């Protein structure tokens, strides 16, 4: 509809091409063959030439002069960081880390269990942390100490012994890293920090260089190029999360929602960048009409480039979708599977059982996305691009691996013979059956 700061659709009559674009977001950029090819060249350069390639990538893509011997952030720089961070920012980081510690500690409270599932047969599981992991903390459009908190805290709570941080330095400088990021790492006890361009840094962590020992897991959000790098290193046996790409949100609201609140909610993720997706899904035409002037006013109050980012988001992969009712709103939300979902309706408890695909669900007028991003303790490193249909946030569980355990008595082994021996014979594994018969079972 003309004169509105967003694209507007009606779900029941929405053109298929519009549905596909909204649901796909910017995923096509991540899987673009040319991007994958160019990122692949960076990865191969780092694999072949190590730290020298990382320095070249910083000079080429970020305009930074960082020789190989300065790629690792020194202990002195980390120790000096707290004094360089304003007190309110330090306090905010401490608040956020404490909330996150409580969430992740509660989530992983049970690390080991046992249960007798048949007479004499005890099974169980124990969770142990991965030995070494890398976390990628992006920068570029902004610096993100909150990402350092969101990724570092669950890794520490999980008990990962070795945590390497990859962070791009400020563009155009001599390798400066935001002291707030360093302070968050310092507070978490993380001291291995490497400055590197995004894709080159992912490669350094995956393959190892003179200054970076390789890892088997690397996680963290970033640009399409960073996400592409994470996709590519999976072919070399490195575990990554799918996908942590451009920010996105979906707000479900009805006519009981405060338009001022909703306007702020739909602009929250829209200001991240032109690839971001910010959607309002509502059955209320009255709410949509009330938002026009408010969103225009709030857009005018944003500084550049945030204002342009937000406008691009609302007219690109975002906008307003009108639905028949809240049941259809849940259908749209589940099809989209957003990173962040806000539910601001009169009876959220009736709607929540219908919502099954989302990185997080923030319920009610007093739980905006920014609360989840910084202070509430819930994970904010969330799957994007519809991958909330099949994957979850980065949590302490991300850094834990499960080992199953079983212990059987002779009587339990004899009981299992009725299952094991027929299947061994059917599948053609006489050696498997022999492990039972050697114990005098199944003769």
| 340 belongs to the catalytic site | yes
Structure tokens at 8: 């507007």
| 339 belongs to the catalytic site | yes
Q: How far are the Cα atoms of 161, 305, 395, 401 from residue 130, in angstroms, in the given order?
A: 8, 40, 13, 7
Structure tokens at 289: 């009409």
CA atoms within 13 A on the CB side of 109: 4
DSSP 217: B
Spatial CA neighbour of 276 closest among 369, 196, 184: 369
Q: Which of 77, 271, 339, 360 is catalytic?
A: 339
Beta strands, E only, 236-330: 248-253, 277-282, 319-322
Structure tokens at 38: 């160019």
Q: Which of 340, 360, 411, 443 is catalytic?
A: 340
What is the helix (H) or strand (E) element at residue 99, kind and residue range? helix 87-107
What is the helix (H) or strand (E) element at residue 400, kind and residue range? strand 400-408
Instruction: Categorise residue 440: left if φ over 0, alpha if ψ from -120 to 50, beta otherwise.
Output: left
What is the helix (H) or strand (E) element at residue 402, kind and residue range? strand 400-408
DSSP 13: G
Q: Are 184 and 149 in contact (CB under 8 A)?
A: yes
CA atoms within 13 A on the CB side of 94: 8
**Residues 98, 399: Cα–Cα separation, whole Å:** 19
Contacts of residue 189, Cβ cutoff 8 Å, sequence gap at least 6: 156
**Residues 27, 275: Cα–Cα separation, whole Å:** 10
Q: Are 329 and 281 in contact (CB under 8 A)?
A: yes
Q: Report the SS3 class of residue 118.
A: strand
Catalytic residues: 339-340
């Amino acid at each position: 509809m003309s004169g509105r700061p967003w694209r507007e659709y009606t779900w029941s009559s929405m053109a298929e091409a519009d549905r596909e674009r909204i649901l796909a977001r910017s995923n096509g950029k991540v899987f673009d063959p040319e991007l994958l090819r160019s990122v692949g060249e960076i990865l191969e350069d780092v694999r072949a030439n190590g730290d020298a390639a990382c320095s070249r990538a910083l000079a080429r893509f970020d305009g930074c002069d960082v020789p190989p011997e300065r790629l690792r952030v020194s202990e002195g720089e980390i120790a000096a960081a707290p004094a360089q961070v304003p007190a309110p920012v330090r306090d905010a980081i401490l608040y956020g880390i404490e909330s996150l510690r409580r969430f992740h500690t509660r989530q992983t409270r049970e690390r080991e269990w046992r249960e007798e599932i048949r007479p004499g047969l005890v099974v169980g599981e124990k969770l142990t942390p991965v030995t070494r992991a890398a976390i990628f903390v992006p920068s570029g459009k902004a610096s993100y100490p909150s990402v350092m908190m969101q990724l570092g805290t669950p890794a520490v709570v999980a008990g990962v012994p070795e945590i390497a941080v990859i962070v791009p330095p400020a563009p155009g400088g001599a390798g400066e890293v935001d002291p707030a990021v360093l302070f968050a790492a310092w507070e978490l006890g993380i001291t291995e920090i490497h400055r590197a361009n995004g894709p080159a840094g992912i490669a350094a962590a995956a393959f190892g260089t003179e200054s970076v020992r390789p890892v088997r897991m690397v996680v963290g959000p970033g640009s399409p190029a960073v996400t592409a790098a994470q996709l590519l290193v999976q072919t070399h046996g490195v575990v990554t999360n799918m996908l942590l790409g451009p920010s996105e949100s979906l707000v479900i609201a009805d006519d009981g929602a405060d338009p001022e609140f909703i306007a702020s909610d739909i602009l929250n993720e829209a200001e991240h960048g032109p690839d971001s997706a910010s959607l309002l899904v509502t059955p209320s035409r009255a709410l949509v009409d009330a938002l026009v002037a408010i969103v225009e006013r709030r857009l005018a109050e944003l500084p550049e480039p945030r204002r342009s980012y937000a406008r691009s988001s609302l007219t690109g992969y975002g906008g307003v979708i009108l639905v028949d009712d809240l049941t259809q709103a849940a259908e749209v939300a589940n099809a989209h599977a957003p990173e962040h979902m806000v539910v601001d309706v009169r009876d959220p408890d009736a709607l929540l059982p219908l919502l099954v695909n989302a990185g997080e669900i923030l319920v009610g007028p007093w739980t905006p996305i920014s609360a989840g991003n910084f202070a509430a303790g819930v994970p904010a490193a969330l799957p994007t691009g519809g991958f909330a249909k099949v994957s979850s946030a980065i949590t302490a569980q991300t850094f834990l691996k499960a080992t199953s355990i079983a212990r059987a008595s002779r009587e339990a082994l004899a009981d299992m013979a009725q299952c094991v021996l027929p299947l061994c014979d059917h599948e053609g594994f006489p050696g498997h059956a022999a492990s039972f018969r050697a114990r005098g079972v199944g003769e």
